[in-house]
């Protein structure tokens, strides 16, 4: 049987926070701190209100609710940087026999721009566009399970987002590694392991 590890992409493999802020700096100027905070409050609400909307629509509407009318996030998506530990960590996991998957709240075309910049091959990807919903809904997970036929005992899910990823992974009884890059202070007792980086994740696995 294949061993699978699935990841969220943006925030876990891609440095979403740094890239997001850099892009917004160019359109929000000295309001960037307030805009970033307001955006993060708006996005989960917008996703819940419009679960079948494209992620480009989610980006625009969330940014509008944060006080900025712009398509800059979607237009400059390929500028989001890859974390330095992504390449060595994914390379080490593949060498150890793990198959790699990504479950992402993203459109196909946006993810395609990112996938071209990822340093190792990815074996399976499930996007929000394909399932018509956004995590923490279980649709990404159930679609991945259907496509791969993976046994849940051979499946680990790893991600930065506690709410979008750790909560649904727990509901399915998956082993789950919380890559707590952002030090959010949420309860680590509900995850299988908490690590601060992908490099640490490799040692845990």
178 lies in the same domain as 120: yes
How sure is the predictor about 127, in pLDDT bands with cuts at 50, 70 and 90? very high
Q: Which of 51, 78, 105 is the last residue of a domain?
A: 78
Three-class SS of residue 132?
coil
Listed residues 33, 61, 78: the one ending a domain: 78
Q: What's the structural domain count of the chain?
A: 2
Q: Which of 34, 17, 39 is nearest to 184 (CA)?
A: 17
First to last CA, the chain: 17
The reported pLDDT for the residue numbered 123 is 98
- Torsion from C-alpha of 185, 190, 193, 196, nearest 10 degrees: -10
Same structural domain, 87 and 69: no
Residues 111 and 180 in one domain: yes
Is 111 found in the same domain as 23?
Answer: no
Residue 119: predicted pLDDT:
86
- Among 78, 100, 128, the domain boundary falls at 78
Q: ∠ CA 46-48-52 to the nearest 5 degrees?
A: 90
Quick one: 155 and 69 in the same domain?
no
Task: Give per-residue pLDDT as tens, 152-197.
Answer: 999 999 999 999 999 999 999 999 999 999 998 999 999 999 999 9
- Residue 57 and residue 86 share a domain: no
27-81: per-residue pLDDT in tens? Answer: 999 999 999 999 999 999 999 999 999 999 999 999 999 999 999 999 999 999 9
- Residue 51 CA to its chain's centroid (Å): 16
**pTM assigned to the model:** 0.95
Instruction: Tell me: do 101 and 180 sit in the same domain.
Output: yes
Q: What is the mean pLDDT of the chain?
A: 96
CATH code of the domain covering residue 137: 3.40.50.1000
| Domain span holding position 43 | 16-78
The b-or-e profile of 164-193 (16+ CB within 10 A means b, else e) is: bbbbbbeeeebbbbbbbbeeeebeeeebbb
């Amino acid at each position: 049987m294949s061993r699978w590890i699935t990841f969220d992409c943006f925030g876990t493999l891609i440095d979403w926070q740094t890239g997001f802020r850099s892009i917004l700096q160019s359109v929000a100027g000295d309001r960037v701190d307030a805009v970033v905070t307001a955006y993060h409050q708006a996005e989960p609400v917008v996703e819940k209100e419009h679960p079948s909307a494209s992620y480009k629509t989610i980006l625009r509407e969330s940014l509008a609710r944060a006080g900025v009318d712009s398509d800059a996030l979607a237009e400059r998506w390929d500028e989001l940087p890859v974390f330095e530990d992504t390449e060595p960590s994914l390379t080490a996991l593949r060498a150890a026999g793990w198959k790699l998957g990504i479950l992402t709240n993203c459109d196909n075309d946006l993810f395609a721009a990112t996938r071209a910049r990822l340093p190792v091959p990815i074996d399976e990807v499930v996007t929000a566009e394909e399932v018509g919903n956004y995590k923490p809904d279980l649709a990404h997970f159930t679609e991945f399970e259907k496509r791969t036929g993976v046994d849940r005992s051979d499946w680990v899910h790893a991600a930065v987002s506690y709410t979008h990823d750790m909560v649904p992974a727990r509901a399915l009884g998956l082993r789950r590694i919380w890559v707590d890059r952002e030090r959010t202070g949420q309860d680590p007792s509900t995850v299988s392991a908490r690590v601060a980086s992908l490099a640490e994740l490799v040692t845990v696995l």
